[in-house]
Amino acid sequence: MRRWGGDGDGRRQPPARSRPRRPVAALTAVVATVAALALALGGCATAADGPVGPRFVTPPLIHYTSVLWPVPLQLVGGEPGSRLRITATLTDGRGTWRSSATYTVPAGGMLDLATARPQLAPFAEPDSVGLFWSLDGPELSGTALATHWMHDTLPVTLAAFDADRLVASRTFDLQGLADDLRPHTLYTRDLEGAGTSRFPRETHEDQPVAQFWKATSQERPITPAVLMFDDPAPGASAAFAAPLLARFGASVLVLPVSSAPDGVRASSVVDSTTVEHALAWLAAQQGIDARDVFVYGTGVSEPLALWAATRFPTRVHGLFAAGGAPQLLCLPSGSTAPAFEDGAGLPCRVGPGPDSASSVIPLGGVDGPVVLACGGRDTVLASACSGQAALAAARGRRAGDSIQNAPRAGHAVTVPPGLPVALPRGRPGAPAGSGADAQATEQARVAFWNAVAQIVLRATRS
């Protein structure tokens, strides 16, 4: 099977957007393309181990990776009316993760996990990959978390039991989305030739200032790019999001951002000069289309992405943001802004809200598509959805935008789909208002990344 290969002013007018843009296919077609991109990384999933007997099957040529988009998964040859407990088990050097769900086999003997409603499961609605993203096990952090879920190949065994009798079993090797990708560290000296302004005096020329992930597309010589303000939250950081964007066909330049303990405010400062040099460096790279540069920021970094999009409107085409405040929030000291222009800190709020169209960072100057998302049961930033609504109201309705409010989802709506990372562990079917729901959060992740993928794929095909 074929595997992925390889690898001053800020208001200068860019080259004219003269080339025609092809219309985007229907969302279902885009989702299928995205699924092919995200799934073509693991070992082949053949239809069956044998011609008879209960067995797990998937369509021919479907591949699995640790980033799982919903794809068909069925158990065929089951005894009609029997009640099966299906377990998922992952064991490696870091520990053991498990999940399970009970199903009743339909009259035809074929159990379709995409349409069958589970019983006694950590998810309430039909989900063909629910047993993968609901795996529960050791809590990893930092580098170990990203290495495990994004770089390692993980054997997950599905087993079906009728009472204590094993009736079917199959192991899926989930290959991490970033297993063959590594970022390139950029230093001040790498960016100093780009842009027209001088770096702040305190910036040392040998200081690492960014990481660059090269787009993996081998068929498109010219690719879009994403300037990412890193969200250090588990699963939402550049170690997770940047490889996914690279798989979609976008080159990604990541600027580091540190988080305050509350997970709402940044604890580090970004200067407009650094952003200007980063955008100029991207525009100067062979193979990157300067007309299709997007900014990305979630959680503590969303305000920085909003600010950058409005500070450099002629260099930024679109915006992806979620789960953060719609205004610049002061650092924990309460007096310093996380964004500086011309060496001076910008006005900032000590805390988020109240949110209104007149109080948020204006996005009217962003001429391309905007994706905004939030979880209605965000316990990190309770006002996340009111903030996104205020941003959308101030911008006005525009073709190509995607404004997403997932009422039952939690904070971490931008973790790549399929990962059992940063999901709320509430009881499925719990009363409304009792907390965020894991399956709703997973569905919000799919919706967010589908919207982002649609935009990036359109840019790569233009």
Give the integer Cα–Cα distance in Å for 292 and 55: 46
Spatial contact of 124 and 439, defined as CB atoms under 8 Å apart:
yes
Spatial contact of 179 and 153, defined as CB atoms under 8 Å apart:
yes
pLDDT at position 461, please? 80
The candidate with the shortest Cα–Cα distance to 225, out of 280, 173, 272, is 280
Q: Look at residue 130 and tell me whether its pLDDT is greater than 70.
A: yes
Tell me the pLDDT tens digit for each residue of 146-173.
Answer: 999 999 999 999 999 999 999 999 999 9
Give the integer Cα–Cα distance in Å for 250 and 455: 10
Tell me the pLDDT tens digit for each residue of 235-277.
Answer: 999 999 999 999 999 999 999 999 999 999 999 999 999 999 9
pLDDT band at 60 (very low <50, low <70, confident <90, very high): confident
Question: Tokens 């600027």 appear where?
Answer: 255
User: What are residue 384's DSSP bridge partners?
Assistant: none
Say what the pTM is. Answer: 0.88
pLDDT band at 425 (very low <50, low <70, confident <90, very high): confident
Spatial contact of 379 and 407, defined as CB atoms under 8 Å apart:
no
Q: In whole numbers, what is the pLDDT of the chain averaged over residues? A: 86
Highest mean pLDDT among 221-225, 352-356, 375-379: 375-379
Q: Look at residue 17 and tell me whether its pLDDT is greater than 90.
A: no
Q: What percent of the chain shows pLDDT beyond 90? A: 74
Q: Identify the weakest region by mean pLDDT among 26-35, 153-162, 303-312.
A: 26-35
Q: Identify the weakest region by mean pLDDT among 35-49, 318-332, 334-348.
A: 35-49
Tell me the pLDDT tens digit for each residue of 284-298.
Answer: 999 999 999 999 999
**How far apart, in Å, are the Cα atoms of 285 and each of 169, 194, 280, 415?**
49, 11, 9, 28
pLDDT band at 62 (very low <50, low <70, confident <90, very high): low
Q: Look at residue 280 and tell me whether its pLDDT is greater than 90.
A: yes
pLDDT band at 49 (very low <50, low <70, confident <90, very high): very low
Q: Which amino acid is at 274?
A: T
189 vs 448: which has the higher pLDDT: 448
Can you tell me the mean pLDDT for 443-450?
97
Longest dimension (CA), the chain: 74
DSSP letter, residue 169: E
Can you tell me the mean pLDDT for 350-372?
95
Q: Look at residue 334 and tell me whether its pLDDT is greater than 90.
A: no
Can you tell me the mean pLDDT for 310-324?
97
Pairing, β 339-341 against β 344-345 = antiparallel
pLDDT at position 353, please? 83
Q: Look at residue 3 and tell me whether its pLDDT is greater than 70.
A: no
Q: Identify the weakest region by mean pLDDT among 15-24, 82-91, 105-114.
A: 15-24
Tell me the pLDDT tens digit for each residue of 92-120.
Answer: 999 999 999 999 999 999 999 999 999 99
Tell me the pLDDT tens digit for each residue of 190-246.
Answer: 887 765 566 665 555 668 999 999 998 666 778 999 999 999 999 999 999 999 999
Give SS3 for 319: strand
pLDDT band at 32 (very low <50, low <70, confident <90, very high): very low
Spatial contact of 209 and 191, defined as CB atoms under 8 Å apart:
yes
pLDDT at position 343, please? 84
Can you tell me the mean pLDDT for 132-138?
96
